[in-house]
Amino acid sequence: MRIEIPCGGCEETGAVISKTDSLLCKMPAVRYDYHIHSSFSDSSASIRDIVEQSVKLRLETIAIIDHFWPSIGSTRGGAGLIKERRESIETMREEYPQIRILEGAEVDINSDGSMAPVAGGLDQFDIVIGSVHWGSDSRHWASAVTGAADRERFEILGHWNGFLSSYRHEHGIMVAEALARNEIAVELNARYEIRYENFLTMAKDKGCKFTMGSDSHHVLEIGRLKDQIQLADALELPLAEI
Residues 13 and 47 grouped into a single domain: no
Residues 44 and 25 grouped into a single domain: no
Write the pLDDT tens digit of every residue in 71-100. 988 877 899 999 999 999 999 999 999 999
Query: Within a domain: residue 240?
Result: no
Residues 147 and 124 grouped into a single domain: yes
Predicted local distance difference test score (pLDDT) of residue 3: 30
Residues 142 and 39 grouped into a single domain: yes
Closest to 189 (Cα-Cα) out of 218, 157, 167: 157
Alpha carbon distances (Å) from 63 to 47, 147, 202: 11, 25, 27
**pLDDT: is 4 or 55 the higher one?**
55
Residues 3 and 92 grouped into a single domain: no
Confidence grade of residue 233 (pLDDT, cut at 50, 70, 90): very high
Percent of the chain with pLDDT over 70: 88
Residues 73 and 154 grouped into a single domain: yes
Closest to 159 (Cα-Cα) out of 204, 115, 113, 214: 214
Residues 7 and 108 grouped into a single domain: no
Residues 18 and 62 grouped into a single domain: no
Residues 136 and 18 grouped into a single domain: no
Closest to 84 (Cα-Cα) out of 130, 123, 122, 120: 120
Confidence grade of residue 159 (pLDDT, cut at 50, 70, 90): very high
Please state the rounded mean pLDDT for residues 227-239. Answer: 97
Structural domain span for residue 7:
1-29
The total domain count for the chain is: 2
Alpha carbon distances (Å) from 68 to 33, 60, 120, 197, 241: 20, 26, 11, 31, 25
Residue 19 has pLDDT above 70, yes or no: no
Can you list the pairs that 82-87 forms with residues at least 24 positions away whose Cβ atoms lie under 8 Å? Answer: 82/118, 82/119, 82/120, 82/124, 84/40, 85/38, 85/40, 85/47
Residue 61 has pLDDT above 70, yes or no: yes
**pTM of the prediction?**
0.88
Please state the rounded mean pLDDT for residues 32-58. Answer: 97
Confidence grade of residue 142 (pLDDT, cut at 50, 70, 90): very high
Residue 39 has pLDDT above 60, yes or no: yes
Query: Within a domain: residue 241?
Result: no
DSSP letter for each residue of 18-58: -HHHHHHHTSBP--EEEEE--TTTT-S--HHHHHHHHHHTT
Predicted local distance difference test score (pLDDT) of residue 77: 84
Write the pLDDT tens digit of every residue in 192-224. 998 899 999 999 999 999 999 999 999 999 999
Residues 38 and 9 grouped into a single domain: no
Residues 41 and 13 grouped into a single domain: no
Residue 22 has pLDDT above 90, yes or no: no
